[in-house]
Amino acid sequence: MIINMNTIKSISSKILTVLLLAVMLTSACRKDPQVIKEVREYLFPPKPDHKMKGFYLVNEGNMGMNKASLDYVDFGLGQYRRNIYNEANPSQVKGLGDVGNDAAVFGSKLYIVVNISNKVEVLDVKTGKRINQIDITNCRYITFNKGKAYVSAYLGQVGNPAEPNGIVAEIDTTTLKEIRRVKVGRQPEEMAIINDKLYVANSGGYSPQNYERTVSVVDLNSFTETKRIDVAINLHRLKADKSGDLYVTSRGDYLDIKSKMFVIDTKTDQVKKQFDVAVSNLTISNDIAYFYSTEWSHHTGKMTVTYGMLDVINEKILGTRFITDGTDKNIVIPYGIAVDPSTKEVYVTDAKDYVSPGTLYCFSPAGVKQWSATTGDIPAHFAFVYK
């Protein structure tokens, strides 16, 4: 033997040392994960006299990323609190969930509809601490009436080829349990309740060859679908004004059939007016509807964004605008809109490229930017907190 055992040992040990060193070096790089803390920043002078405490903003998060997050604007402190869920609920497995699709405050609770996570998350409105969750598969939107919550869901059951229809579930806001559910049209979206009647916009989004074109009317006492109002294909938004009219948007088929908005008179349950404008999202505050549209053009390959206001009393599009200082040029994709019921300030969110934090803008009633804040990913849904 040319080399004796000692040489082998020393060489082997050298190799082993190098390997171990490398392993130790690299092992040291893995830090223990921390609970992600909320971030607070002051945005505007405190407004202790503001009629409301503030509002929650739900960021949808990109699908599959489990990045729905919750922000809060505190009027009294002039403060923005970003990503409050994790710190308030550190032990909640996988956090708020995947794709926050709607949010609302009712009584002392904040309800967040988390679409892909198949749940409605119920939080204490003061602390943001989790109270419970209500499991509803493929849930979309939430609305309230007389101590009950109503949640629309795309499918009544998954995996049944004979059941393409969606449902609306009725939930007791005290026990947080589902009481009953009613079958409506296919892939129902937004809802509104007028005089114990629930109106829900059916989209039929899972069947582009055969979109739904109706609004289902559900009698809340018997909890049965009593009627379908024919409107247009692929309905989405549905908002009620004070006089009992419903503003319903149709997304069209993204090709030949354009996106439009319709007005339904709930006294007759008939469509009474049609606006040939594309509306992606709207909010109604007193007598004004604030809306924006993002429309894709095949010809230019570009997204066209427009903003508008509409008088819901006279049912006329106004010449005025809610952004007047040119800030709209900085907004890539408007994704959420809300109007402060007391001050009439307008809040608009920008989802940007969907994979970066978005921006929340606050505009004065005159349309001038007051402040802006960095949000979570895809900021979208507002829930005001009253005093």
Partner 1 sequence: MRRNNFTIKGINPCFFTFLAISWLGGIMPLNLQAQTDSVKLSRKDSLNKVNDLKEVQIRRIKITRRQTSSTPLQILSGAELEKLNSLSVADAVRFFSGVQLKDYGGIGGLKTINVRSMGSTHTAVFYDGAQIGNAQNGQVDLGKFSLDNIEEIELYNGQKSAIFQSARGFASSSSLYLKSRQPNFEDGRSNRFKGTFKTGSFGLVNPSLLWQSKITDHTYSTLSAEFKNAHGRYKFRSFSGGWDTTGVRTDGDIQTMRLELGLNGILRDSSKWSVKLYGYNDEHGLPGAIVANVWHFSQRQWNRNLFAQSSFEKNIGRYSLMAVGKYTNDYQRYLNPDIVSVDGLLDNRYYQQEVYFSLANKFKVNKFWDLVLSSDYQMGDMNANLYRFAYPRRYTFLNAFATQFHFDRLDIQANVLSTIVSEKVETGPQPDNRNELTPSVLVSWQPFGQKEFRIRSFYKSIFRMPTFNDLYFTFFQPRSIKPEYTKQYDLGFTYIKGYEDQALTQFSIQADAYYNKVKDKIVAVPGTSQAIWIMMNMGMVEIKGLDVNMQSAWQLNKDLSLNAGLNYTYQKAINVEKTSSYHHQIPYIPVHNISILASATYRQFSMNYSYLYTGQRYNQAFNSLENYVQPFYTHDMAIHYNTLIHNRKVRLTAEVNNLLNQPFEVVTNYPMPGRSYRFTLTYDY
For residues 305-344, which are near partner 1 according to CB under 8 A?
none
Closest separation between CB of residue 294 and partner 1, Å?
5
**Given the rule CB under 8 A, which of 177-185, 203-211, 316-324, 339-347 is the region that contacts partner 1?**
203-211
**Given the rule CB under 8 A, which of 48-56, 62-70, 141-149, 337-345 is the region that contacts partner 1?**
62-70
**Given the rule CB under 8 A, which of 102-110, 142-150, 172-180, 375-383 is the region that contacts partner 1?**
375-383
Question: Is residue 3 a contact residue for partner 1 (CB under 8 A)?
Answer: yes
What count of other Cβ atoms lies within 10 Å of the Cβ of residue 376? 24
Q: How many residues bind partner 1 (CB under 8 A)?
A: 87
CA 306 to chain centre: 20
Question: Is residue 210 a contact residue for partner 1 (CB under 8 A)?
Answer: yes
d(CA 48, CA 75) in angstroms, rounded, equals 7
DSSP 8-state symbol, 7: H
Tokens 């092992």 belong to residue: 27
Nearest-5° angle of CA 83, CA 114, CA 288?
A: 85
Closest separation between CB of residue 8 and partner 1, Å?
5
Which of residues 152 and 266 has its CB atom nearest to partner 1 in the complex?
152
45 close to 74: Cβ distance less than 8 angstroms: no
Which of residues 160 and 195 has its CB atom nearest to partner 1 in the complex?
160
Nearest-5° angle of CA 39, CA 44, CA 45?
A: 120
Question: Is residue 159 a contact residue for partner 1 (CB under 8 A)?
Answer: yes
Question: Is residue 301 a contact residue for partner 1 (CB under 8 A)?
Answer: yes
CA distances from 201 to 57, 62, 121, 265 (A): 23, 24, 23, 14
Which of residues 148 and 251 has its CB atom nearest to partner 1 in the complex?
251
113-152 footprint of partner 1 as x/- string (CB under 8 A) = -x-xxxx-------------x-x--x--------------
Report the relative pairing of strands 109-114 and 100-106 from DSSP bridges: antiparallel
Tokens 């894709």 belong to residue: 296
Question: Is residue 67 a contact residue for partner 1 (CB under 8 A)?
Answer: yes
Question: Is residue 93 a contact residue for partner 1 (CB under 8 A)?
Answer: yes
Which of positions 169-198 make contact with partner 1 (CB under 8 A)? 186
10-49 footprint of partner 1 as x/- string (CB under 8 A) = -xx--x---x--xx--xx-xxxxxxxx-------------
Closest separation between CB of residue 263 and partner 1, Å?
22
Question: Is residue 96 a contact residue for partner 1 (CB under 8 A)?
Answer: yes
Q: Applying CB under 8 A, which of residues 21, 313, 318, 355 lies at the interface with partner 1?
A: 355
67 close to 360: Cβ distance less than 8 angstroms: no
Q: Tell me the helix, strand and coil percentages in the chain, rounded to 5.
A: 10, 45, 45
DSSP 8-state symbol, 156: S
Q: Applying CB under 8 A, which of residues 216, 280, 283, 349 lies at the interface with partner 1?
A: 280
359 close to 352: Cβ distance less than 8 angstroms: yes
d(CA 139, CA 376) in angstroms, rounded, equals 21
Question: Is residue 112 a contact residue for partner 1 (CB under 8 A)?
Answer: no
Closest separation between CB of residue 78 and partner 1, Å?
24
Q: Applying CB under 8 A, which of residues 17, 224, 296, 320 lies at the interface with partner 1?
A: 296
d(CA 379, CA 118) in angstroms, rounded, equals 20
Q: Which two tokens stand for residue 86?
A: 């994790």
Within 281-333, residue ranges assigned H as helices are none
Q: Applying CB under 8 A, which of residues 298, 314, 319, 329 lies at the interface with partner 1?
A: 298
